[in-house]
Amino acid sequence: MTTTAVTHIASLVTNDPSLGNGTPLGLILDAAVVIEGDRVVWTGESSKAPATDSAVDASGRAVIPGFVDSHSHLIFAGDRTQEFNARMSGRAYSAGGIRTTVAATRAATDEQLAANVARYLAEALRQGTTTFETKSGYGLTVEDEARALRIAARHTEEVTYLGAHIVSPDYADDPAGYVDLVTGPMLDACAPYARWIDVFCEKGAFDGDQARAILTAGKAKGLQPRVHAGKLSYGPGVQLAVELDAASADHCTHLTDADVDALAAGNTVATLLPGAEFSTRAPWPDARRLLDAGVTVALSTDCNPGSSFTSSVPFCVALAVRDMGMTPDEALWAATAGGAAALRREDVGRLAPGARADLVLLDAPSHVHLAYRPGVPLVAGVWRAGEQAVPLG
């Protein structure tokens, strides 16, 4: 296997506290990374790098691990420009808008859905995302949910069954019947394509008892839980997530002290999705409160056509630093190692020997520029699993 060194990296984020300056970011200055096949095999000071078959000179720019976007909803058709426009003119966000996308998604061909996901993934990759999770949830029939997951599974191993996004309009008068469908025939059809099961635990979607039944049924079929919790209001979702050992409770915008304590004591990551608060003009989640309590925090896009139509993790990092009380170091960690923790992955989100070689070269001397220079396309090159996925600029 050939070896490649990326040398003269002004600052390298490894996310390995045993490397570099001893902080959680494991920052090494004037660093190099050596890639062999799809793996990182060496990191350290550039002057000490071993001989390799080829070398790329980073010329004093920064390298970070590829972003791990652990929460997106990319299997959909249509957009909701009018709804966004109305919201920015004063109308409130409501989960009911999801029905608009359900109608468009059901009407789309497989090819249209596949082209859509490929387009948003290419967009995300250009902005440094090398691992992503995505969900169903805009089909809400057995066939439409299963095809969404089938299409998603061609692009990522992190596929989530979200038949419990809202009660299907076809079951408007029979929510219990819809829960039976989601935990019965729909689960049977979807489980082969998914690793995760998710539920939107919220007023107007699914209550605590329904969410528990849905996640428990998924676990019995070998799916691991994650939960949309505390997005629009306080609710039982966070406590349920911790109780069921969900990998992540997502949104966490409305949290009681007991929710924060439960997250701090359990193994469930709090995934914050500031694109949703930005696009719905909602109050920001309080990252500082969670971090100070010792909770593991992830930052992701929630990319979806309704509440957060951004594929940009750098944008979310900038929001988290400006408005959610995170330092630039904490936000970078949350968008890389935090996302990996939310997917219970050890191979991504860090750049230490043995990790997958997912590197993002920034057109900047340090990762702090992601928040310092908001909105600027700073990604100058991406390697995914050792392959040059975005050519060096």
Question: Pairing state of beta strands 387-390 and 379-384?
Answer: antiparallel
Residue 231 main-chain phi, psi, to 5 deg: -80, -55
The answer to whether the beta carbons of residues 38 and 357 sit under 8 Å apart is: yes
Q: How far apart are CA 127 and CA 131, in angstroms?
A: 12
Q: Residue from 120, 132, 200, 383 that binds ligand NIG (CB under 6 A)? A: 200
Nearer to ligand NIG, 61 or 228 (CB): 228
Please name the residue that has the structure tokens 């001989």. Answer: 51
366 binding partner (options ligand NIG, Fe ion, none; Cβ < 5 to 8 Å by kind): none
> Which residue's CB comes closest to ligand NIG?
306
- Rounded least distance, CB 165 to ligand NIG, Å: 6
Q: Residue from 306, 328, 339, 349 that binds ligand NIG (CB under 6 A)? A: 306
- Rounded least distance, CB 208 to ligand NIG, Å: 16
Please name the residue that has the structure tokens 């970078």. Answer: 332
Angle at CA 103, nearest 5°, toward 143 and 110?
Answer: 50
306 binding partner (options Fe ion, ligand NIG, none; Cβ < 5 to 8 Å by kind): ligand NIG
Site for ligand NIG in 119-138 (CB under 6 A): none
Site for ligand NIG in 95-114 (CB under 6 A): 97-98, 101
231 binds ligand NIG (CB under 6 A): yes
Q: How far apart are CA 229 and CA 199, in angstroms?
A: 9
Residue 172, both tokens: 């408007």
Site for ligand NIG in 35-94 (CB under 6 A): 73
Measured torsion, CA atoms of residues 275, 125, 107, 103, in degrees rounded to the nearest 10: -10
370 binding partner (options ligand NIG, Fe ion, none; Cβ < 5 to 8 Å by kind): none
196 binds ligand NIG (CB under 6 A): no
Q: Residue from 133, 198, 302, 330 that binds ligand NIG (CB under 6 A)? A: 302
Residue 179, both tokens: 């829960």
Nearer to ligand NIG, 305 or 328 (CB): 305
249 binding partner (options ligand NIG, Fe ion, none; Cβ < 5 to 8 Å by kind): none
Q: How far is CA 152 from CA 66, 119, 190, 222, 287, in A?
A: 20, 13, 12, 18, 30
Nearer to ligand NIG, 67 or 200 (CB): 200
226 binding partner (options ligand NIG, Fe ion, none; Cβ < 5 to 8 Å by kind): none
Question: Pairing state of beta strands 297-299 and 269-272?
Answer: parallel
Query: What stretch of H or E contains 142?
Result: helix 142-153
228 binds ligand NIG (CB under 6 A): yes
The answer to whether the beta carbons of residues 189 and 145 sit under 8 Å apart is: yes
| DSSP one-letter string for 229-252 | ESSSS--SHHHHHHHTT-SEEEE-
Nearer to ligand NIG, 62 or 214 (CB): 214
302 binds Fe ion (CB under 5 A): yes
158 binds Fe ion (CB under 5 A): no
- Based on its alpha-carbon atoms, the radius of gyration of the chain, rounded to whole angstroms, reads 21
**Chain residues that interact with ligand NIG, rule: CB under 6 A:** 73, 97-98, 101, 200, 228, 231, 276, 302, 304-308
**Chain residues that interact with Fe ion, rule: CB under 5 A:** 302
